[in-house]
Amino acid sequence: MREPTADFSVDRRRFLKGCAVLSFALVLRPGRTAAAAVTNAAFSPNAVLRIDPDGAIRIVMPHAEMGQGVYTGLAQILADELDADWSHVVAEHLDSLDPAFNHREWGVISTGASTSVSNQWQHLREVGATARAMLVEAAAQQWGVAADGLTTANSFVIDPARDRRLSYAELTATAAQLQPPTEVRLKTPDQFRLIGTDVPRLDARAKATGTATFGMDFTLPDMLQASIAHAPVFGATLKSFDASQAEVMPGVRKVVRIPSGVAVVADTFWQAKTAKDALELTWDDGAFADVSSATLWEEYATLAGTDGPVFERRGALAPAAAEVNLEGEFRLPFLAHAPMEPLNATARWGGAGLEIWSGTQFQGVDAGTLSAKLEIPVEQVRIHTLWLGGSFGRRAAPFSDFVLEAAQIAKASGLPNPIKLVWQREDDVQGGFYRPMALHRYRIGLDAARRPVNWEHRVVCASISKGTPFEAAFMHEGFDTLSIEGLRHTNYDVPNVEFVLHTTEHAVPVLWLRGEADSHTAPAVEGIMNRLAREAEQDPFAFRRSLLRETDMSKRIKGVLDALEAGAGWANSPPEGVYRGMAVHPSFGSVVGYVVELRKSDKRLDFHRVVAAVDCGRVVNPASVRAQIYSSVAFALSMAIGQKIEIANGRAVQSNFHDYTVARLSHVPDVEVHLVDNGLDHPTGVGEPGVPPFLPALAEAVHAATGQDVNAWPMTLDGYAFLAGGS
């Protein structure tokens, strides 16, 4: 999820109110956090941090690690201000709902919108600096000297004048007795030792040895496993079911009906799954059973041809000023997140309330939902966070679907055992909560000098936030910003602008997916800009520079354009047989641009080179930023080479990785990443902003190579094969 509006943090109260289930956020309820687990001699100045007498520096992670590298990045920030020895740093999963772990802007424990590092930046620095100041004070007391002559390095307080030192481990007991200072001085950037360096990931070893326990791997001695049958048609309801065969199958303990389906609880996953397949279910398919992708696109195209609510207007459309009008459209399909680890959660319902073990991005939201739906006080909900095997937004579930299902199954079963609900890949790919399908249609008037004077643009898209607890936060003047971000407030200065949003409704639930609205608005906006540059017979870099209005973001965009142009050697013509395209897009507070070069031989296109330029503000871990750009390119490339969810007879056509395309090693190019310093002193988003601009840069390279316009994703090329490996 994205930070919705500029006034969001001020308006948090409205957010919390809209999210009625979240009232618990105001209840102070420390669980087994670092602070609460203090042993006598440990020093824990904050719930986030505990320094043990053995020197271990334990940092409890306020955000979920789903691959984006936050555990390492967040630890780097705190450890740098603490002057900690990096080899002593241990990242710990959160297993508390203590508001100390709230997202600093959203006021609820949650991870999303590429904000983990940026929202914690100041706070974790203060935590680290405060602890450091207290350790210095502790040493000063032990030595009987003034604190201001002391320095710190690598988990030691040093007294340079008398050439002596004390380790943090030796100081924990004394420091624990001290009051934290009211003010601390943070480092200046030239004093950073960890921030800005390629610290290896803290989880690299566990993930190279198979020892990282994902939600899927969690187990308890008496744990049972569940498999669930969901409605195959979106919006269908269960009429009846016959479990007589399933109930007598080996290992089966219970068959339970919950609002979203019928679940089988058994000793092992395979037993549960086999018995679930033996259930006989009768569904009332409902009205959506007649819907297909074709009928949806027809509806979207009709809407795109009609007037609708205007979310942005500048100037007044001046048809007379246009010599030529360019028209076109872009179509982007539903997309499933398909995180590598299928969705799952373990729930234990009993005496002390509800206990959950899961990889979720939304602990705070989930706790509120569980409390409301299962009618227990939120104080009786406990959530243990585990490693997330990917998410891309799917594990930030506004209705907490998979976590709630696990809890409902545990409760309905009447069993005291913890029960792990495991979704099959098919449940995930066919279960909705997709990136919404979107249609963009535009008409642009060019004056005699081939400059755009009028820009009419219509977006047709379903609302993500409508009907969720986040509606109030994301709706802006009646428009869901999650449908139009990346188009609204465009930095391109066209004098007369009219942007329309048609909000559709259908039974397919939709959700934020990595790149969010920008994943469809950037291909549209940058696709348009590339076309306009061609029409004006201008270089695409020069054309963009001339069209950017004067904003702070435009300055950063220009900085990225400069770095990209230089990094890609754009001034030189590409080699024989190589064709190129570029695009740049600001999102999640950052700016990313790409140059994509394709090699054409016969009727085949392959990557020649991909160059990226990235301004994500202050860089905490350059290697991590590069890795996220590699990752973003692979993620976006999947969207180009075949990835889509189609609807037929009201259900998803694709079901698993054999027909839901994901780019593989043979498809994915090496990417050359240039980090751009435009002087921003704090970090901005990294996980998502690399996704949106890749598609339009690729599209332009394809156009250069083939003369074909890419108007729909995934691409279909007439007479050309893209990538040797095919899709």
Partner 1 sequence: MARNLHVNGRVHEVEASDDTPLLWVLRDHLGLTGTKYGCGVMACGACTVLVDGEPVRTCVMPVSGFTEAQSITTIEGLPGADEDPVQKAWTEHSVAQCGYCQSGMIMAAHALLAKQPEPSDADVEQAMTNICRCGTYQLVRVAIRQAAKEMRDA
Report the alpha-carbon distance of residue 198 to residue 187 in Å, rounded. Answer: 19
Q: How many helices (H) and strands (E) does the chain have?
A: 18, 30
The residue from 7, 14, 151, 200 that contacts partner 1 (CB under 8 A) is 200
Binding at 268: pick from partner 1, ligand FES, none (beta carbon under 5-8 Å per type)? partner 1
Q: Which stretch binds partner 1 (CB under 8 A): 233-241, 490-498, 595-603, 623-631?
A: 623-631
Residue 594 in the binding site for partner 1 (CB under 8 A): no
Q: Which is nearer to ligand FES, 656 or 716 (CB)?
A: 656
Q: Yes or no: say if 513 and 690 are a contact pair by the CB < 8 Å rule.
A: no
Using CB under 8 A as the criterion, what x/- string covers residues 250-269 for binding partner 1? x-----------------xx
Work out the number of other CB atoms within 10 angstroms of the CB of residue 221. Answer: 6
Q: Which is nearer to ligand FES, 168 or 635 (CB)?
A: 635
Residue 67 in the binding site for ligand FES (CB under 6 A): yes
Instruction: Give me 65's structure tokens.
Output: 């690690």
Instruction: Give me 477's structure tokens.
Output: 């003047």
Binding at 211: pick from ligand FES, partner 1, none (beta carbon under 5-8 Å per type)? partner 1
Residue 422 in the binding site for partner 1 (CB under 8 A): yes
The residue from 183, 665, 707, 718 that contacts partner 1 (CB under 8 A) is 665
Q: Which is nearer to partner 1, 426 or 646 (CB)?
A: 426
Using CB under 8 A as the criterion, what x/- string covers residues 46-85 for binding partner 1? -------------------xxxxx----------------
| Residue type (1 letter), 440 | H
Sequence-separated (6 or more) residues with CB below 8 Å from residue 721: 603, 604, 605
Q: Which is nearer to partner 1, 358 or 624 (CB)?
A: 624
Q: Yes or no: say if 513 and 638 are a contact pair by the CB < 8 Å rule.
A: no
Binding at 697: pick from partner 1, ligand FES, none (beta carbon under 5-8 Å per type)? none
Binding at 248: pick from partner 1, ligand FES, none (beta carbon under 5-8 Å per type)? none
Q: Which is nearer to ligand FES, 67 or 215 (CB)?
A: 67
Residue 340 in the binding site for ligand FES (CB under 6 A): yes
Nearest to 345 by CA among 283, 292, 289, 408: 408
Residue 212 in the binding site for ligand FES (CB under 6 A): no
Q: How far is the CB of 241 from partner 1 (least distance, A)?
A: 23
Report the alpha-carbon distance of residue 332 to residue 460 in Å, rounded. Answer: 11
Residue 341 in the binding site for partner 1 (CB under 8 A): yes
Work out the number of other CB atoms within 10 angstroms of the CB of residue 141. Answer: 15
Residue 725 in the binding site for partner 1 (CB under 8 A): yes
Q: Which is nearer to ligand FES, 67 or 586 (CB)?
A: 67
| Residue type (1 letter), 153 | A
Query: What are the CA-CA distances from residue 272 to residues 214, 238, 276 (Å)?
Result: 20, 20, 6
Q: How far is the CB of 67 from ligand FES (least distance, A)?
A: 5
Residue 343 in the binding site for partner 1 (CB under 8 A): no
Alpha helices of 187-329 — where are they, by DSSP H? 204-208, 244-247, 269-277, 293-304
Q: Is the dihedral of CA 186, 192, 196, 198 positive or negative?
A: negative
DSSP SS3 for 66: coil
Residue 390 in the binding site for ligand FES (CB under 6 A): yes
Q: How far is the CB of 412 from ligand FES (least distance, A)?
A: 29
Phi, psi angle pair for 154, to nearest 5° = 45, 50
Q: How far is the CB of 534 from partner 1 (least distance, A)?
A: 30
Q: Which helix (H) or strand (E) holds 595?
A: strand 590-601
Q: Per-residue DSSP letters for 473-521?
A: HHEETTEEHHHHTTTTT-SB--SEEEEEEEEE--SS-B---TTTTHHHH
Residue 689 in the binding site for partner 1 (CB under 8 A): no
Residues that bind partner 1 (CB under 8 A): 65-69, 200-201, 203-214, 216-217, 219, 225, 250, 268-271, 274, 338-342, 387-392, 422, 424-425, 623-624, 627, 630-635, 656-658, 662-666, 668, 670-671, 725
Residues that bind ligand FES (CB under 6 A): 67, 340, 390
